[in-house]
Chain A
Amino acid sequence: MSENYFQLFGLPVGFEVDAEALALRYRDLQRAAHPDRYAGASERERLLSVQQASLINEAYSTLKDSLARARYLLELNGITLSDTDTRMDPMFLMEQMELREALDAAPAAADPFAALAKVRNAAEATERQLVEELAALFQRGEAEALQQAPERLRKLQFMRKLLDEVDEREGDLAHNI
């Protein structure tokens, strides 16, 4: 398969993606590859349609999400993220620590939902900023800019994880009312 996910969806290769065009194209591609259309086809054709459908799904979930999209774009540029790189900007880790502490303390706060919302707002603000920075780096596109992207991406991963935990805590709280 020489075509990349962007080409598959007929979209320009880049961080900024037209969400509407992506969703429309996804629907069309999915319809065309639907296994039901191959009910009377040969075994081989059916198998290919199943593979094609799974590729379309994989491509769609990658292009739809800013984190997955950024990671994929870097891979297209020959930059793979290392998950074992544990050194990070100490200030950022300090902030992570503080947000985690606030998250832990939230259920015991006078207004636990407000305490959780505060953590969420802080995490979402950082998330937005990181996505903007990534967009600017990919916009520049030269090697020097792309070298700076993995660090932003790692931070974004932390923020996503934190936001997942905020969701979880909110669920627990709502459940216990």
Chain B
Amino acid sequence: MAYSDKVIEHYENPRNVGAMDKDAPDVGTGMVGAPACGDVMRLQIKVSAEGVIEDAKFKTYGCGSAIASSSLVTEWMKGKTLDQALEIKNSQIAEELALPPVKIHCSVLAEDAIKAAIEDYKTKQSRA
């Protein structure tokens, strides 16, 4: 399968790979997985008191498209409010990376990871 230049670029130079303290109150962690291909994705966000995403990190085990999708969303999320980040749609990710139809599920995984990370953050905040 031929990857687009953008996928290869993100795959070879992934942005924001790493981990944050998942127990920190200002960190939200989203873990999602795609059973069909066994991909696992962890997306973490650090949120300011004003509700702006200051930093984002990811770790993905999966194909090039899954890695590129998560790398791309960490870039897109930074500086956005939570509501703005929730507006990121898998179709935008797929379009930006020129993903072929069989790889659309990788962008779905990334969108779900965003939602899961924000949900985790909000749950923590409501408990605090």
Chain A residues within CB distance 8 Å of chain B: 81, 83-88, 90, 93-94, 96-97, 100, 104, 153-155, 157-158, 160-162, 165
Residues of A within 8 A of B7 (CB): none
Q: Give the complex CA separation of A157 and B36 in angstroms.
A: 7
B119 vs chain A, min Cβ distance (A): 10
Q: Give the complex CA separation of A97 and B109 in angstroms.
A: 15
- Which residue in A87, A100, A153, A161 is a CB contact (below 8 Å) of B37? A161
B46 at the binding interface (Cβ < 8 Å): no
- Which residue in A86, A104, A155, A157 is a CB contact (below 8 Å) of B109? A86
Known contacts A96-B40, A97-B40, A162-B38; is A88 also within 8 Å of B105 by CB? no
Q: Mark B11-34, 1 if CB is under 8 A from A, else 0.
A: 000000000000000000001111
Q: Give the complex CA separation of A94 and B44 in angstroms.
A: 13
Chain B residues within CB distance 8 Å of chain A: 31-38, 40, 42, 59, 61, 105, 108-109, 112-113, 116
Known contacts A97-B59, A100-B61; is A86 also within 8 Å of B34 by CB? yes
Residues of B within 8 A of A85 (CB): 35
Task: Report yes or no: B116 in contact with A87, Cβ–Cβ below 8 A.
Answer: yes
Q: Give the complex CA separation of A87 and B117 in angstroms.
A: 12
Task: Report yes or no: B61 in contact with A83, Cβ–Cβ below 8 A.
Answer: no
Task: Report yes or no: B61 in contact with A88, Cβ–Cβ below 8 A.
Answer: no
Task: Report yes or no: A93 in contact with B40, Cβ–Cβ below 8 A.
Answer: yes
Residues of A within 8 A of B116 (CB): 87
Q: Give the complex CA separation of A160 and B38 in angstroms.
A: 8
Task: Report yes or no: A157 in contact with B61, Cβ–Cβ below 8 A.
Answer: no
**Cβ-closest chain B residue relative to A85:** B35
CB-defined A-B contacts under 8 Å, sample of 8: A83-B36, A86-B33, A86-B113, A88-B32, A88-B33, A97-B40, A157-B36, A161-B37
Residues of A within 8 A of B105 (CB): 83-84
Task: Report yes or no: A93 in contact with B108, Cβ–Cβ below 8 A.
Answer: no
Task: Report yes or no: B38 in contact with A157, Cβ–Cβ below 8 A.
Answer: yes
Residues of A within 8 A of B61 (CB): 96-97, 100, 104
- Which residue in B35, B42, B108 is a CB contact (below 8 Å) of A157? B35
B7 vs chain A, min Cβ distance (A): 20
Known: A86-B112, A161-B38; 17 extra A-B contacts, CB below 8 A, are: A81-B35, A83-B34, A83-B36, A85-B35, A86-B113, A88-B31, A90-B31, A93-B33, A96-B61, A97-B59, A97-B61, A100-B40, A157-B35, A157-B36, A157-B38, A161-B37, A162-B38
Residues of B within 8 A of A87 (CB): 32, 112, 116
A151 vs chain B, min Cβ distance (A): 10
Residues of B within 8 A of A86 (CB): 32-34, 108-109, 112-113
Known contacts A84-B108, A86-B108, A86-B109; is A158 also within 8 Å of B38 by CB? yes
